[in-house]
C-alpha cells in the first residue's frame, strides 16, 4: 500500500490542517500525562520547518457537545511550551466559524493554531458533511497523525479528506503502521504474541487472527481464566466469561492444528477479594478453591512465559498479566515487561493498559515501539482496514 506522507508534501505558504491525537488525561484542567502531545511533535516541527501554516485539531474526552471541562486550551498552552513559540487557541464552541476562518487566512508561514475540541460539534461522530466541509474550509492540505482515532470514521479523520485537495499521513501514523503492520505482515521469527487484560470477548478476532501468524501465543490476565475453565479447571471466583468458553476451546484446537504453541498459566496468584491488600497466595492452575479469585499469574507461569520469549525476534504484547494497578498483583506484568526489555527483538506494546503498565513500571523506553492507540492497534491486529488510513490513501 502506498502511503502519502508529509515527506512528499509542499507545504510552504499553505494552510495545513493536522488531525492530532491530543486526547490527554486531564484532572481539574491540568494535563497529567502529555505523552500524546510529545508524540505529535515530530510531525508538527517538520511542518513548521517546511513553512506550513498549521491548524491543529483533535478530540479530547467524550463530550456530547460544548463542555468547558473538555476544552483544548491546556493542550495549546502545553504545545506552546514544547515548541517554544506562541500557539494561539481558537476556542469557539462551533470549532470552525467566520472568526476562525479569518484568523487562519491571516496566518504567516510557520505559525500554529489549535482548534476547539472536535467533539463539541455533534456531527463529528456521525461523519456528517457540514462539519467535514467546515474543517476543510481551513485547509489546503490535510494531514492525519492521529493513529489512536484512525479506527473511527469521523469528520476530522475521514469526512474532511473528501473536501481537501491533498491528504497525507504524519510521522506518528507512519511509525505505527510500520511497526504494527510489519509485525503482522512480515515478522522476523520466532514471532510471539502475548495477550492479557480483561475480556476474551474484546479480543476474539485478535486471537483468531494471531493464531494464523505467530509461532507462540501466550495468554495471561483475567482472560486466561476462561481458557483455564475450558481446560476443565475450577477457577473459583476468578473473572469468567461463560459465553466464551466454547470459543476458548475452539482456539485451543486451532492452535494445535496450526502447530502454534499456546501457553496458558500453570499457576496463579489468588486472592480472597479484589483489593490492593487482599490476603493472597500462589496455587497451581488446577488448585483454585472456591472463595478465591485469580488476580495475577503465578511464579512458575512467570518463568514459563519469560522463557518463552527469550529466543523471540518479534514480540507483540496487548493486555496486562494481572491487576497491575495493585502492587501485590503486578509481579507477572512486571516480570514480562522486564523480560521484554532484556531480549534482542522487536518489541511492540499494543497501546491502552499495557502501554500504561509498561510506562508505569519504568520499561517504556526499553521497548521498540509503544502504540499510542489501544483500540486502533487491536483493530489493526485483527486485520481490519483503519478508516482514517484508508481515507488518506484513497483521497
Ligand atoms: P484490558 O483493557 O482488556 O487490557 O484490561 C486491562 C484491565 O484488566 C486492567 O485494569 C487490569 O487490572 C485488569 N485485569 C488483568 N488481570 C486481571 C485479573 N486476573 N482479574 C481482574 N482484572 C484483571
Percent of the chain with pLDDT over 90: 83
- Measured on CA atoms in the order 67, 69, 73, 78, is the torsion positive or negative? negative
Q: Is 36 a catalytic residue?
A: yes
pLDDT at residue 167 in the model:
96
Residues 351, 352, 373, 374: which is the catalytic one? 352
Q: How far is the CA of 212 from the centre of ligand 1 (A)?
A: 25
Our mutation pick for probing the ligand 1 site, out of 221, 224, 226, counting the most ligand atoms within 8 A of Cβ, is 221
Our mutation pick for probing the ligand 1 site, out of 218, 353, 354, 381, counting the most ligand atoms within 8 A of Cβ, is 353
Q: How far is the CA of 334 from the centre of ligand 1 (A)?
A: 14
Greatest pairwise CA separation for the chain in angstroms: 71
Q: How far is the CA of 318 from the centre of ligand 1 (A)?
A: 11
pLDDT at residue 359 in the model:
86
CA dihedral 128, 131, 132, 133 (to 10 degrees): 120
Residues 4, 133, 199, 205: which is the catalytic one? 199
pLDDT at residue 162 in the model:
97
The half-sphere exposure of 234 on its side-chain side, counting CA atoms within 13 A, is: 9
Q: Atom 14, ligand 1: which residue's CA is nearest?
A: 323
Answer for the pair 88, 103: CB distance below 8 angstroms, yes or no.
Answer: yes
- What residues are in contact with ligand 1 under a 6 Å CB criterion? 197-199, 202, 221-222, 239, 294-295, 319-320, 322-323, 325, 352-353
d(CA 126, CA 352): 24
pLDDT at residue 3 in the model:
60
Nearest CA-CA partner of 238 in 297, 300, 303: 297
Distance set, CA 303 to CA 1, 189, 310, 338, 349 (Å)? 40, 21, 11, 12, 20
Residues in the chain, pLDDT under 50 = 1
Q: Atom 21, ligand 1: which residue's CA is nearest?
A: 222
Q: What is the pLDDT of residues 110-145, one digit of tens each?
A: 999 999 999 999 999 999 999 999 999 999 999 999
- What is the pTM for the complete model shown? 0.86
Q: Is 101 a catalytic residue?
A: no
- Name the one residue in this structure whose C-alpha cell is 475480556: 199
* Bridge partners, residue 54, by sequence: 16, 112
Distance set, CA 31 to CA 37, 60, 238, 304 (Å)? 10, 11, 35, 39
Closest approach atom of ligand 1 to CA 221: 16
d(CA 351, CA 148): 9
Amino acid at each position: 500500500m502506498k502511503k502519502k506522507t508529509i515527506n512528499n508534501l509542499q507545504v510552504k505558504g499553505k494552510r495545513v490542517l493536522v488531525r492530532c491525537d491530543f486526547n490527554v488525561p486531564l484532572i481539574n484542567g491540568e494535563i497529567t500525562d502529555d505523552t500524546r502531545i510529545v508524540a505529535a511533535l515530530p510531525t508538527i516541527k517538520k511542518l513548521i520547518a517546511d513553512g506550513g501554516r498549521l491548524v491543529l485539531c483533535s478530540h479530547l474526552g467524550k463530550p456530547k457537545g460544548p463542555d468547558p471541562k473538555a476544552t483544548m486550551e491546556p493542550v495549546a498552552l502545553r504545545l506552546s511550551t514544547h515548541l517554544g513559540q506562541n500557539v494561539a487557541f481558537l476556542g469557539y464552541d462551533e470549532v470552525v466559524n467566520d472568526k476562525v476562518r479569518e484568523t487562519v487566512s491571516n496566518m504567516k508561514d510557520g505559525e500554529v493554531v489549535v482548534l476547539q475540541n472536535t467533539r463539541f460539534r455533534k456531527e463529528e461522530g456521525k461523519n456528517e458533511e457540514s462539519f467535514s466541509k467546515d474543517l476543510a474550509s481551513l485547509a489546503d492540505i490535510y494531514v492525519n497523525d492521529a493513529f489512536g482515532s484512525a479506527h473511527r470514521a469521523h469528520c476530522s479523520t475521514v469526512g474532511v479528506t473528501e473536501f481537501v485537495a491533498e491528504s497525507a499521513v504524519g510521522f506518528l501514523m507512519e511509525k505505527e503502521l510500520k511497526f504494527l503492520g510489519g509485525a503482522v505482515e512480515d515478522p522476523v521469527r520466532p514471532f510471539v504474541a502475548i495477550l492479557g487484560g480483561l475480556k476474551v470477548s474484546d479480543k476474539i478476532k485478535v486471537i483468531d487472527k494471531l493464531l494464523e501468524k505467530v509461532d507462540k501465543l501466550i495468554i495471561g490476565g483475567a482472560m486466561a481464566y476462561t481458557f483455564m475453565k475450558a481446560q476443565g479447571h475450577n477457577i473459583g471466583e476468578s473473572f469468567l466469561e461463560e459465553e466464551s468458553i466454547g470459543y476458548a476451546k475452539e482456539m485451543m484446537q486451532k492452535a494445535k492444528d496450526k502447530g502454534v504453541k499456546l501457553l496458558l498459566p500453570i499457576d496463579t496468584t489468588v486472592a480472597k477479594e479484589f483489593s490492593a491488600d487482599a490476603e493472597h497466595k500462589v496455587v497451581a492452575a488446577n488448585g483454585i478453591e472456591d472463595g478465591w479469585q485469580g488476580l495475577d499469574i503465578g511464579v512458575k507461569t512467570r518463568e514459563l512465559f519469560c522463557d518463552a520469549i527469550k529466543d523471540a525476534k518479534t514480540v507483540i504484547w496487548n493486555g496486562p498479566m494481572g491487576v497491575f494497578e495493585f502492587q501485590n498483583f503486578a509481579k507477572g506484568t512486571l516480570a514480562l515487561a522486564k523480560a521484554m526489555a532484556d531480549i534482542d527483538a522487536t518489541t511492540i506494546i499494543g497501546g491502552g493498559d499495557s502501554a500504561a503498565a509498561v510506562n508505569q513500571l519504568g520499561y517504556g523506553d526499553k521497548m521498540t515501539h509503544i502504540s499510542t492507540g489501544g483500540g486502533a492497534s487491536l483493530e489493526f491486529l485483527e486485520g481490519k482496514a483503519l478508516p482514517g488510513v484508508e481515507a488518506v490513501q484513497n483521497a
